[in-house]
């Protein structure tokens, strides 16, 4: 049908555009966070882009339902504004006849969301934990940023370099290390990281500097001059990546069976279901009333989305605490939202107000 193809094309383009905008926001937000952590030495600069890509993949199943919701809403709102819906109604095509293309379009997006929710997002979560865990094994100097103090060994060692080139060579190096209550401060003109070919250990070779050794709060210090001073760089002990429910597979979630696992399973299952329900709300709220302005339906749509998302968050909390049976899950929320949208759809199809006014207001 021509109307259906027109809807698929316009809604698809609009949804893709909204998805692109949301992805750009997510990418720039994540980039600022990871670059800030890399600048503070909390993350290795080499894994910033990897973590950013994994974070984007983790957010995709959350962005697509929102993008479809507003994609369908904006598409049908334009049809109302340009009187295309009026022409369709005159040809015998009402709101209920648009249910089929809206649901078919939602089905395509829901399949992608389902794959992301049950496979891509857990995979990205596991990989993020692995990358962060392996990043902790990188020596402190590999995480250094010029002009920024970098902590190591739980705060016992502090590094600073005014300048660092692409090869890792440093200028105006400062190092402070605390051992057995004594603080040793090393100041050197240059520094260069290297690997011992025999043992494979990593060292930082400091040249032309001084070592100030003493106890904090006392004026008695030993000052030693050196031409070459080698500092052994010990990476942090490799720890197992934390096992979170967000990174577990379906079988592991079902086998675990506790509150957080049940809540996570129903949350993953809720994402594709949300796609269909939000699409129905978009179909209802797309109607544009010239007397109320073009943005009235947009504000209502945002309110519906906020209410739905907050209710889902509440449902997750109740599942984690065991206050809702696992068999019920989040279906009671979906059922309530579905009943409301069916009522609103019926009111809209019969040209009645969505919320009837009391008799004394008529």
pLDDT per position as a tens digit, 170-210: 889 988 887 766 778 889 999 888 877 777 777 888 999 98
Whole-number Å distance between alpha carbons of 51 and 47: 6
pLDDT of residue 256: 86
User: Helices 296-320 and 331-349, interaxial angle, to 10°?
Assistant: 160
- Higher-pLDDT residue of 139 and 211 is 211
pLDDT of residue 180: 67
Q: Is the pLDDT of residue 217 over 70?
A: no
Residues facing 342 on adjacent strands: none
- Higher-pLDDT residue of 289 and 55 is 55
pLDDT of residue 141: 63
Q: Is the pLDDT of residue 20 over 70?
A: yes
Whole-number Å distance between alpha carbons of 73 and 82: 14
Q: Is the pLDDT of residue 133 over 60?
A: yes
Residues facing 157 on adjacent strands: 152, 177
pLDDT of residue 343: 92
Label residue 353 by pLDDT band (50, 70, 90).
low
Q: Are 50 and 57 in contact (CB under 8 A)?
A: no
Label residue 153 by pLDDT band (50, 70, 90).
low
Token pair, residue 225, equals 């001059």
| Other residues' Cβ atoms within 10 Å of the Cβ of residue 107 | 13
Percent of the chain's residues with pLDDT above 90: 37
Q: Are 30 and 55 in contact (CB under 8 A)?
A: yes
CA 7 to chain centre: 30
pLDDT of residue 342: 93
DSSP 148: S
Label residue 244 by pLDDT band (50, 70, 90).
confident
Q: Is the pLDDT of residue 314 over 80?
A: yes
Q: Which of 22, 6, 108, 111 is nearest to 67 (CA)?
A: 22
Token pair, residue 352, equals 């009645």
Pick the most confident of 60-74, 191-205, 222-236, 246-260. Answer: 60-74
């Amino acid at each position: 049908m021509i109307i259906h193809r027109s809807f698929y094309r316009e809604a698809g383009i609009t949804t893709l555009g909204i998805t692109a905008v949301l992805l750009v926001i997510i990418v720039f937000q994540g980039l600022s966070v990871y670059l800030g952590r890399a600048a503070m030495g909390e993350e290795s600069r080499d894994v910033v882009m990897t973590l950013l890509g994994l974070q984007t993949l983790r957010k995709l199943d959350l962005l697509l339902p929102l993008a479809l919701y507003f994609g369908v809403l904006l598409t049908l709102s334009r049809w109302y504004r340009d009187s295309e819906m009026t022409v369709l109604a005159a040809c015998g095509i009402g709101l209920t006849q648009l249910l089929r293309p809206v649901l078919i379009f939602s089905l395509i997006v829901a399949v992608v969301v389902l794959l992301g929710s049950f496979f891509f997002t857990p995979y990205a979560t596991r990989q993020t934990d692995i990358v962060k865990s392996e990043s902790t094994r990188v020596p402190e100097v590999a995480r250094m940023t010029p002009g920024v103090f970098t902590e190591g060994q739980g705060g016992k060692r502090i590094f600073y370099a005014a300048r660092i080139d692409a090869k890792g060579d440093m200028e105006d190096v400062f190092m402070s290390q605390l051992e057995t209550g004594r603080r040793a401060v090393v100041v050197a003109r240059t520094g260069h990281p290297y690997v011992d070919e025999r043992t494979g250990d990593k060292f930082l070779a400091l040249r032309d500097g001084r070592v100030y050794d003493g106890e904090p709060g006392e004026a008695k210090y030993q000052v030693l001059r050196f031409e070459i001073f080698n500092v052994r760089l010990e990476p942090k002990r490799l720890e197992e990546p934390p096992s979170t429910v967000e990174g577990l597979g379906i079988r592991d979630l079902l086998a675990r069976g506790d509150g957080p696992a049940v809540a996570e399973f129903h949350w993953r299952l809720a994402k594709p279901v949300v796609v269909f329900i939000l699409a129905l709300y978009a179909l209802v709220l797309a109607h544009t009333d010239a007397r109320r302005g073009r943005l009235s339906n947009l504000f209502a749509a945002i309110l519906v989305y906020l209410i739905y998302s907050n209710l889902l968050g509440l449902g997750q909390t109740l599942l984690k605490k065991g206050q809702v049976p696992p068999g019920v899950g989040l279906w009671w929320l979906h059922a309530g939202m579905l009943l409301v949208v069916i009522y609103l759809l019926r009111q809209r199809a019969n040209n009645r107000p969505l919320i009837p006014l009391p008799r004394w207001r008529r």
